Protein backbone atom coordinates (compact mmCIF):
# COMPACT_ATOMS: atom_id res chain seq x y z
CA UNK A 1 0.00 0.00 0.00
CA UNK A 2 1.48 3.32 -1.06
CA UNK A 3 1.90 6.19 1.38
CA UNK A 4 0.62 9.49 0.01
CA UNK A 5 1.10 11.56 3.16
CA UNK A 6 3.27 14.59 2.39
CA UNK A 7 2.63 14.27 -1.34
CA UNK A 8 0.26 16.07 -3.67
CA UNK A 9 -3.11 14.37 -3.82
CA UNK A 10 -3.85 12.79 -7.22
CA UNK A 11 -6.32 15.08 -8.95
CA UNK A 12 -9.10 13.87 -11.21
CA UNK A 13 -12.16 14.78 -13.21
CA UNK A 14 -14.98 12.26 -13.17
CA UNK A 15 -18.74 11.93 -13.11
CA UNK A 16 -20.35 12.47 -9.71
CA UNK A 17 -23.72 12.98 -8.08
CA UNK A 18 -23.90 16.23 -6.11
CA UNK A 19 -26.60 17.46 -3.73
CA UNK A 20 -28.08 13.98 -3.83
CA UNK A 21 -29.84 14.53 -7.15
CA UNK A 22 -27.70 16.13 -9.85
CA UNK A 23 -25.29 14.16 -12.05
CA UNK A 24 -22.22 16.22 -12.99
CA UNK A 25 -20.07 14.79 -15.78
CA UNK A 26 -16.81 16.59 -14.97
CA UNK A 27 -16.61 16.90 -11.19
CA UNK A 28 -13.10 18.00 -10.25
CA UNK A 29 -11.19 17.58 -7.01
CA UNK A 30 -8.98 20.46 -8.10
CA UNK A 31 -11.81 23.00 -7.74
CA UNK A 32 -11.23 23.04 -3.97
CA UNK A 33 -7.44 23.39 -3.96
CA UNK A 34 -6.42 26.73 -2.47
CA UNK A 35 -9.87 27.20 -0.93
CA UNK A 36 -10.88 24.26 1.27
CA UNK A 37 -9.60 21.32 3.24
CA UNK A 38 -10.89 18.05 1.80
CA UNK A 39 -11.95 14.79 3.42
CA UNK A 40 -11.96 12.33 0.54
CA UNK A 41 -13.07 8.80 1.31
CA UNK A 42 -13.62 5.61 -0.64
CA UNK A 43 -16.19 2.92 0.08
CA UNK A 44 -16.50 -0.46 -1.68
CA UNK A 45 -19.95 -0.62 -3.28
CA UNK A 46 -23.41 0.86 -3.51
CA UNK A 47 -26.41 -1.08 -2.16
CA UNK A 48 -24.45 -2.80 0.62
CA UNK A 49 -24.67 -2.93 4.41
CA UNK A 50 -21.69 -1.24 6.08
CA UNK A 51 -21.35 1.51 3.47
CA UNK A 52 -24.61 3.34 4.26
CA UNK A 53 -23.71 3.54 7.95
CA UNK A 54 -20.55 5.43 6.99
CA UNK A 55 -22.22 7.63 4.41
CA UNK A 56 -24.93 8.68 6.87
CA UNK A 57 -22.34 9.17 9.63
CA UNK A 58 -20.46 11.65 7.45
CA UNK A 59 -23.72 13.36 6.50
CA UNK A 60 -24.68 13.74 10.17
CA UNK A 61 -21.37 15.47 10.89
CA UNK A 62 -21.44 17.63 7.75
CA UNK A 63 -22.09 20.87 9.72
CA UNK A 64 -18.93 20.20 11.74
CA UNK A 65 -16.88 19.78 8.57
CA UNK A 66 -18.47 22.94 7.12
CA UNK A 67 -17.46 24.85 10.26
CA UNK A 68 -13.87 23.73 9.62
CA UNK A 69 -13.87 24.99 6.01
CA UNK A 70 -13.79 21.40 4.84
CA UNK A 71 -15.64 19.57 2.08
CA UNK A 72 -16.52 15.89 2.26
CA UNK A 73 -16.34 13.83 -0.93
CA UNK A 74 -17.10 10.12 -1.28
CA UNK A 75 -16.08 7.76 -4.07
CA UNK A 76 -16.67 4.18 -5.17
CA UNK A 77 -16.14 2.21 -8.36
CA UNK A 78 -19.87 2.17 -9.14
CA UNK A 79 -21.38 4.23 -11.96
CA UNK A 80 -22.98 7.62 -11.47
CA UNK A 81 -26.32 6.04 -12.40
CA UNK A 82 -25.89 3.52 -9.58
CA UNK A 83 -25.05 6.36 -7.15
CA UNK A 84 -28.10 8.30 -8.32
CA UNK A 85 -30.39 5.30 -7.86
CA UNK A 86 -29.08 4.61 -4.36
CA UNK A 87 -29.37 8.28 -3.40
CA UNK A 88 -32.99 8.30 -4.47
CA UNK A 89 -33.88 5.20 -2.42
CA UNK A 90 -35.28 5.88 1.07
CA UNK A 91 -33.16 4.91 4.07
CA UNK A 92 -35.78 2.48 5.36
CA UNK A 93 -35.49 0.55 2.10
CA UNK A 94 -31.69 0.35 2.16
CA UNK A 95 -30.98 3.59 0.29
CA UNK A 96 -28.98 6.67 1.20
CA UNK A 97 -31.56 9.35 0.44
CA UNK A 98 -30.60 12.52 2.28
CA UNK A 99 -26.85 12.38 1.61
CA UNK A 100 -25.90 15.69 0.00
CA UNK A 101 -22.11 15.73 -0.38
CA UNK A 102 -20.63 14.67 -3.75
CA UNK A 103 -20.26 10.96 -4.56
CA UNK A 104 -17.76 10.33 -7.33
CA UNK A 105 -18.12 7.50 -9.86
CA UNK A 106 -14.73 5.86 -10.35
CA UNK A 107 -16.11 3.57 -13.02
CA UNK A 108 -12.78 2.92 -14.73
CA UNK A 109 -11.10 2.41 -11.32
CA UNK A 110 -8.25 4.82 -12.05
CA UNK A 111 -8.94 7.06 -9.05
CA UNK A 112 -8.82 4.14 -6.60
CA UNK A 113 -5.68 2.88 -8.35
CA UNK A 114 -3.98 6.30 -8.13
CA UNK A 115 -4.79 6.48 -4.41
CA UNK A 116 -3.60 2.86 -4.10
CA UNK A 117 -6.78 1.61 -2.45
CA UNK A 118 -8.01 -0.72 -5.19
CA UNK A 119 -8.61 -4.24 -3.90
CA UNK A 120 -7.80 -7.12 -6.24
CA UNK A 121 -5.36 -6.91 -9.12
CA UNK A 122 -5.01 -7.28 -12.85
CA UNK A 123 -2.79 -9.90 -14.46
CA UNK A 124 -2.06 -11.28 -17.90
CA UNK A 125 -2.62 -14.96 -18.66
CA UNK A 126 0.69 -16.18 -20.08
CA UNK A 127 -0.96 -18.81 -22.28
CA UNK A 128 -3.74 -16.73 -23.83
CA UNK A 129 -2.22 -13.26 -23.38
CA UNK A 130 -5.58 -12.14 -22.03
CA UNK A 131 -6.07 -9.65 -19.20
CA UNK A 132 -7.53 -11.24 -16.08
CA UNK A 133 -8.59 -9.99 -12.66
CA UNK A 134 -7.90 -11.57 -9.30
CA UNK A 135 -10.19 -10.64 -6.45
CA UNK A 136 -12.95 -8.04 -6.53
CA UNK A 137 -11.86 -4.77 -8.10
CA UNK A 138 -13.52 -2.41 -5.64
CA UNK A 139 -12.03 0.20 -3.34
CA UNK A 140 -10.90 -0.47 0.20
CA UNK A 141 -12.25 1.95 2.81
CA UNK A 142 -9.58 4.58 2.26
CA UNK A 143 -9.79 8.04 3.82
CA UNK A 144 -7.56 10.98 2.93
CA UNK A 145 -7.40 14.43 4.50
CA UNK A 146 -6.03 16.95 2.00
CA UNK A 147 -5.01 20.48 2.96
CA UNK A 148 -5.67 23.67 1.02
CA UNK A 149 -2.34 23.27 -0.80
CA UNK A 150 -3.51 19.93 -2.18
CA UNK A 151 -1.14 17.92 0.02
CA UNK A 152 -2.27 14.70 1.69
CA UNK A 153 -1.83 15.14 5.44
CA UNK A 154 -3.49 11.96 6.68
CA UNK A 155 -4.51 8.62 5.25
CA UNK A 156 -6.31 5.64 6.72
CA UNK A 157 -7.17 2.42 4.91
CA UNK A 158 -9.55 -0.15 6.39
CA UNK A 159 -10.32 -3.59 5.07
CA UNK A 160 -13.68 -4.02 3.34
CA UNK A 161 -15.78 -5.13 6.35
CA UNK A 162 -14.48 -2.50 8.81
CA UNK A 163 -16.26 0.85 9.08
CA UNK A 164 -14.52 4.06 10.09
CA UNK A 165 -14.92 6.46 13.00
CA UNK A 166 -16.05 9.87 11.73
CA UNK A 167 -15.29 11.55 15.06
CA UNK A 168 -11.68 10.42 14.71
CA UNK A 169 -11.55 11.95 11.23
CA UNK A 170 -12.72 15.25 12.75
CA UNK A 171 -10.17 15.00 15.57
CA UNK A 172 -7.38 14.43 13.06
CA UNK A 173 -8.61 17.32 10.92
CA UNK A 174 -8.58 19.54 14.02
CA UNK A 175 -4.98 18.55 14.73
CA UNK A 176 -3.91 19.32 11.16
CA UNK A 177 -5.61 22.71 11.18
CA UNK A 178 -4.28 23.56 14.64
CA UNK A 179 -0.74 22.73 13.55
CA UNK A 180 -1.17 24.73 10.35
CA UNK A 181 -2.39 27.78 12.26
CA UNK A 182 -0.07 27.78 15.28
CA UNK A 183 2.90 25.65 14.24
CA UNK A 184 2.50 23.47 17.33
CA UNK A 185 2.55 19.67 17.28
CA UNK A 186 -0.21 17.54 18.77
CA UNK A 187 0.67 14.71 21.17
CA UNK A 188 -1.13 11.38 21.58
CA UNK A 189 -4.87 11.59 22.20
CA UNK A 190 -4.86 15.34 21.58
CA UNK A 191 -8.26 16.88 20.88
CA UNK A 192 -9.43 20.41 20.22
CA UNK A 193 -9.05 22.58 23.30
CA UNK A 194 -6.22 20.55 24.82
CA UNK A 195 -2.64 21.72 25.19
CA UNK A 196 -0.29 21.11 22.29
CA UNK A 197 3.52 21.11 22.17
CA UNK A 198 5.99 23.68 20.88
CA UNK A 199 8.07 21.75 18.40
CA UNK A 200 11.18 23.93 18.77
CA UNK A 201 10.96 25.06 22.39
CA UNK A 202 10.10 21.97 24.39
CA UNK A 203 11.34 18.43 23.96
CA UNK A 204 9.05 15.43 24.13
CA UNK A 205 10.80 14.31 27.33
CA UNK A 206 10.17 17.68 28.99
CA UNK A 207 6.53 17.67 27.95
CA UNK A 208 5.97 14.13 29.26
CA UNK A 209 7.72 14.97 32.53
CA UNK A 210 5.19 17.74 33.16
CA UNK A 211 2.19 15.68 32.16
Q: Which residues are part of the catalytic machinery?
A: 51
Coil, helix or strand at residue 168: helix
Cα–Cα distance, 18 to 16 (Å, whole number) = 6
Query: What strand order describes the sheet that includes 37-42?
Result: 22-28, 13-18, 103-105, 70-76, 37-42, 141-146, 152-158
Q: Which residues of 191-210 are buried (b: 16+ CB within 10 A; e: fewer)?
A: eeeeebbeeeeeeeeeeeee
Residue 31 is classified by DSSP as G
Amino acid sequence: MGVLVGKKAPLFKAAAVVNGTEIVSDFSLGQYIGKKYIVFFFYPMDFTFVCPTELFAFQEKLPEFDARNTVVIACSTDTEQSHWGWLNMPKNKGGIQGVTYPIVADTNKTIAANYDVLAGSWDVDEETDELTAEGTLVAYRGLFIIDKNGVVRHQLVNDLPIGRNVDEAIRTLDAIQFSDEYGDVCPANWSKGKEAMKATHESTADYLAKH
